[in-house]
Amino acid sequence: MTISVLDRTDGMTDATLSNGLGGLHDAAGEVDEEQLPCRVNDPELWFAESPQDVEFAKILCTDCPVRDLCLTGAKQRREPWGVWGGELFLQGVVIPRKRPRGRPRKNQAA
């Protein structure tokens, strides 16, 4: 059995996705590429496993001229993971920080 088309389960349509990304792409095209940290640094930084790398990516986004548009689009698209507009997304929700790998605490911290 081959799956040729995957249906979205989050209510988004392909047109909505392309419009959101298209607006960001258009805005980024009007800015000097050297001002866009995601274009001049390693793209993997925005999807890193290391909490330190994720925090560094968030800091790089601070002065980005398309930060607000990037963040708004990521919220609309419910990005599954990564740093978008200076915020970390996980399963479409902004989370404050990335926990390092390892076993969770046995008891809650006071």
Indicate whether this model's pTM tops 0.75.
no
Q: What pLDDT, in 10s, does the model give residues 28-53?
A: 667 788 889 999 999 999 999 999 99
Q: Which residue ranges of the chain lie beneath pLDDT 50?
A: 1-6, 8, 15-18
How open is the CA angle 53-58-64, to the nearest 5 degrees?
A: 130
pLDDT value of position 43: 93
Rounded distance between C-alpha atoms, residue 98 and residue 56, angstroms:
12
Rounded distance between C-alpha atoms, residue 78 and residue 20, angstroms:
11
Residue 61 annotated in ligand binding: yes
Which helix (H) or strand (E) element contains residue 71? Answer: helix 67-77
Residue 38 annotated in ligand binding: yes
The strand pair at 87-90 and 93-95 is best described as antiparallel
